Amino acid sequence: MSHWLPRTYLALVYLLLYVPIAVLVVFSFNDSRTGYEWGGLSLRWYEALFDNRAMVRAMWNSLWLALSAATVSTLIGALTALALHRYRFRGKQILNGMLFVVMMSPEIVLAISLLALFLLVGMQLGYVSLLLAHVTFCLPFVVITVMARLSGFDERLPEAARDLGASDFVMTRTVLIPVIMPALLAGWLLGFTLSLDDVVVSTFVSGPTYEILPLRIYSMVRVGLKPEVNALGTLLLVFSLVMLILSQWILLRSRR
């Protein structure tokens, strides 16, 4: 029996996955102005990137937006999941299903409807409108992540805590939250990444007062691919890798 066929196949798949990323990283250190010639190692595009004040500003804006959108949607989403999990009421199934509708509906539809809504209530497009929009599409992911964790939750644990003298509040703080913590973290990270790289919804609901990174990059590459973008992409890649490793580490520790 030969193993070369499955091996070659796997190699090709991984090549397909990683070649674009590798090209991006390698060319971010390229000293040449054009994207297809190798001119030696250099950090000039990183320098150029950080000299570009509008770019740095957009980066901070994006980080801040992702941070706040992830945090707000985690808070709201956790409470929603707890309510959906804990209480029985009419229409619970419908509410459950509606989460998936938001998740599955085309982003462009969400974008148009949010824009229409904001215009209708006369809201200034900027940070607030972006935040509201991002919370909207992050929320279902958080709710579903937390609900999945809660579905394996032993209903007797809160009762045991109450039995041992804890008030409802203390029980929530000492038993419920530690148990759903990994889900909260996972939901937060998911929200953070979703928000950080969103283009479609953001294009519709952002205003000139608050420029964010994905839109900035998008407008940059429309006039031609600048090597700075490679440097930026590499930084984002490293950043998301760190986030990924961090989240896995936390999950592993909590499962120990």
Partner 1 sequence: MASDSDLSCTGLVRRFSGHAAVDHVSLNVPAGTFFSILGPSGCGKTTLLRMLAGFDKPDQGDIYIRGQRMNDVPPNRRPVNMVFQHLALFPTMSVGDNIGYGLKRQKVPLAERRKRIAEVLEQVGLPGLEGRNPQQLSGGQRQRVALARCLVLKPTLLLLDEPLGALDLKLREQMKVELKHLQKAFGTTFVYITHDQSEAMVMSDQVAVMKDGRFDQVAPPEALYREPATPFVAGFVGDNNRISGDLVAVQGELAEIRLDDGSLVRGRIASDDLETGGRVDLFIRPESLVLAGDALNSGYSGMDACIRSTLFDGANSRVEAEGAGNNTLYARLPQDGSAPRFNENATVRLAWDPALARVFGARI
Count how many residues are written for the chain. Answer: 256
Judge whether 206 and 129 are in contact, CB under 8 Å: yes
Q: Is 12 exposed, middle or buried (0-12, 13-18, 19+ CB in 10 A)?
A: exposed
Note whether 96 binds partner 1 by CB under 8 A: no
To partner 1, the closest distance from the beta carbon of 108 in angstroms equals 42
Note whether 86 binds partner 1 by CB under 8 A: no
Q: Between 167 and 219, name the residue whose CB sits nearer to partner 1.
A: 167
**What string of DSSP letters covers 130-170?**
HHHHHHHHHHHHHHHHHHHHHHT--THHHHHHHHTT--HHH
Q: Between 121 and 154, name the residue whose CB sits nearer to partner 1.
A: 154
> How many Å apart are CA 69 and CA 75, to the nearest integer?
10
Which residue among 34, 105, 219, 254 contacts partner 1 (CB under 8 A)?
Answer: 254
> How many Å apart are CA 115 and CA 201, to the nearest integer?
9
Q: Between 95 and 157, name the residue whose CB sits nearer to partner 1.
A: 157
Q: Between 59 and 175, name the residue whose CB sits nearer to partner 1.
A: 175
Q: Between 105 and 174, name the residue whose CB sits nearer to partner 1.
A: 174
43: left (phi over 0), alpha (psi -120 to 50) or beta: alpha
| Contacting partner 1 within 107-166 (CB under 8 A) | 154, 156-157, 159-166
Taking only Cα atoms into account, the Rg of the chain, rounded to an integer number of angstroms, comes to: 23
To partner 1, the closest distance from the beta carbon of 71 in angstroms equals 22
| Contacting partner 1 within 168-227 (CB under 8 A) | 170, 174-175, 178-179, 181
Q: Applying CB under 8 A, which residues contact partner 1?
A: 154, 156-157, 159-167, 170, 174-175, 178-179, 181, 254, 256
